[in-house]
Chain A
Amino acid sequence: MPQPVRAVLAAEGDLHNWAYAKFAGAPLKVYKITNPWRSPTGVLPALKTAEKSIGSLSKPSNIIIHLRKQKYNADYDLSAKEGADTLAFVSLLEEKLLPALIYTQWVDSKNYVDVTRRWYAENIPFPLNFLLPNRIHTQQLERLRLVRGDPTLEPGEQLEKELYHDALECMTLLSQRLGSHKFFFGDSPSSLDAYVFGHLAPLLKIKLPNGKLQQHLNSLDNLRQYCTNILLLYFPSEGKEPPSRKVSVHPEGSDFDSEPHKRRNQILSVLFALGSMLGYAILTGIVSIQQVQAQPALAEPHHVDERGEEDEEE
């Protein structure tokens, strides 16, 4: 008897797992959270299972294995050869497409600064929004260097050309393999469909300034149709909004909504700065407050004045 599975997935990050779960018909409760610290395993995505012994899983392959053990298997109807093809195509995508996707989101300077880092800064609570994007950026660059065996690799045109060349070829191969079929194998989607959809759909939806991969994907009609189709069939509630990260780019006119807060924050921060500077100055004696005694009568007004003048001169 398949156990109900509770899942905590992020709205961004692993569309692949979510899609697989949908295709396999696993009843999942999906929580869209953006703070990795609130996830049961500390990273996103995470799957919280009902069994105490297993606890929570984070690696995508482990998540899929667990779902399979619970008898939610999207590959049930595949023949042996199709299963082998799945393995092969997943390897192809991991080697050729994934590096380019990661590059275009995390390493390419323009995309990273304009889109990815901005999204993180706006959607993830303090203090992670400062630490996390930069950490992921350096991690991915490091990983790219290791895998290509060149420790001096820098993000730039040369690297971009090579990565994109492989990725474009890979997308064309996928398109040729898909042909005019609805899914890769037969009439119902399988894990390969989950993988392809999970990685290509965000590419279609997120607007990137440096969008060569997107352009190529848009030119491959059958792939684009395929992604839209799955989106409509399995993620209808997401509607127009991309199920993956939302890019919050404020158009010029609607700054008013954020204006009051912005102004208030500015004033508060200026006051805070002034107050702390003043406090520091007083505490260290740079500025001293003279306690001028309130003299009872007009007895010595000129003394007070003189004293005041002397102090000022000093």
Chain B
Amino acid sequence: MTLMLSVPLTLSNFSCYSPVCIDSSHFIMSLAAEAFVSQIAAAEPWPENATLYQPLREDQILLSDCASSLAVQAYLRMCNLPVQVSYRPNAEYMSPSGKVPFVHVGNQVVSELGPIVQFTKAKGHSLSDGLDDVQRAEMKAYMELVNNMLLTAELYIQWCDDNTAAEISRPRYSSPYSWPLNHILAYQKQWEVRRKMTAVGWAGKNLEQVYEDVSQCCQALSQRLGTQPYFFNKQPTELDALVFGHLFTILTTRLTSDELSEKVKSYSNLLAFCRRIEQSYFEDSQAGSSSRGYSKGPSLF
């Protein structure tokens, strides 16, 4: 099979972040690479052995990563694309952009929901084709809202709140490693996240304000959802997948305090929304996962 590439392949188009190479042709989604991906992606159908990589479910994965991973899984299920989930302690380092989850499809590796959505679109599977321009604008805006508020709040609570960081985040993050690497990696990650919080202006907030922001975000989502089954009426879109990933994870994760999940629980239509998606798309899997200190994966409340 010959492929006509209109983008010249130069090394400057690709950059490699991970020390572990899966194969020779992985890259990040830069602008030029996007065109390249679209061409290659369009050429092959979705294979049976597509794999999604994330950190270990029981011991290692944290709230924010689990939410992102669940969002991607939900999206792929909504598109009816089969994917196997593989748990690796070094998933973060394997990922081309340093963020989990990432999927290995054919001979491409794509990480994070945004690029994965574009990737599947290039293969001809899309959930948002039926939307008009205004709706698409709103969908993108709400996805940014979730990323801006919910994801940042999750990161804040995990790493900037001393209690949670000491009791949950640091032990879990470094659980696969032995001393002294576990301390070094945990503190390094914490320092990195705290610096990022300062850059986006969240360092000056206290926990109460963060919970207030989460509440505001949930209120906005709840008002947008209203009484509809999905955000854009009959059909789920990537926005539904993203919201489900975050809200479901928040609801089923035990942290040092219940306040975060209480904030979400106060909106009944959001609860019903999560239950609906869980029943429609995750019914067949992991019915018996027990919830220990930090329950993960689709499970009943």
Contact = CB atoms under 8 A, between A and B. Distances in A.
A212 interface: no
Contacts of A149: 97-99, 196
Interface stretch (A82-90, A254-262, A303-311): A82-90
Contacts of B142: 88
A97 to B, nearest CB: 11
A177 B196 contact: no
A158 B29 CA distance: 12
B138 A177 contact: yes
A266 interface: no
B141 A92 contact: yes
A143 interface: yes
Interface stretch (B44-52, B57-65, B100-108, B216-224): B216-224
Given A89-B141, A143-B199, A84 B148 contact: no
A304 to B, nearest CB: 76
Nearest to B17: A150
Interface in A56-104: 80-81, 83-85, 87-89, 91-92, 94-96
Interface string A31-65: 00000000000000000000000000000000000
A89 B138 CA distance: 8
Contacts of B124: none
A148 to B, nearest CB: 10
B30 A85 contact: no
Interface of A is mostly: helix
B134 A179 contact: yes
B144 A91 contact: yes
Contact of B134 (A94, A161, A177): A177
Q: Point out which of A96, A149, A174 has the most chain B C-beta atoms below 10 A from its C-beta.
A: A149
Contacts of A94: 144, 148
Contacts of A89: 141
A217 B98 CA distance: 34
Contacts, number: 75
Contact of A147 (B149, B199, B216, B220): B199
A165 interface: yes
Nearest to A161: B31
B74 to A, nearest CB: 20
A232 interface: no
Contacts of A14: none
Contacts of A92: 140-141, 144-145
B5 interface: no
Interface residues of B, number: 32
A176 interface: yes
Interface string A141-182: 011001101000000001001100100000001101101000
A84 B219 contact: yes
A166 to B, nearest CB: 10
Contacts of B217: 87
Given A147-B200, A173-B137, A96 B144 contact: yes
Contacts of B276: none
Given A81-B223, A81-B224, A85-B224, A173 B141 contact: yes
Given A81-B226, A147-B199, A177-B138, A88 B133 contact: no
Contacts of B196: 146-147, 149
Interface in B190-248: 195-196, 198-200, 216-217, 219-221, 223-224, 226
A174 to B, nearest CB: 7
Contacts of A88: 138, 141-142, 144-145, 220, 224
A276 B138 CA distance: 67
A214 B220 CA distance: 32
B147 interface: yes
Interface of B: 12, 30-31, 97-99, 133-134, 136-138, 140-142, 144-145, 147-149, 195-196, 198-200, 216-217, 219-221, 223-224, 226
18 contacts: A81-B224, A83-B220, A84-B220, A88-B138, A88-B141, A88-B224, A89-B141, A92-B140, A92-B144, A94-B144, A94-B148, A95-B147, A96-B144, A146-B196, A147-B196, A149-B99, A158-B30, A173-B141
Given A91-B149, A146-B195, 11 more contacts: A84-B223, A87-B217, A87-B220, A91-B141, A91-B147, A95-B147, A142-B199, A146-B196, A158-B30, A173-B141, A177-B137
Interface of A: 80-81, 83-85, 87-89, 91-92, 94-96, 142-143, 146-147, 149, 158, 161-162, 165, 173-174, 176-177, 179
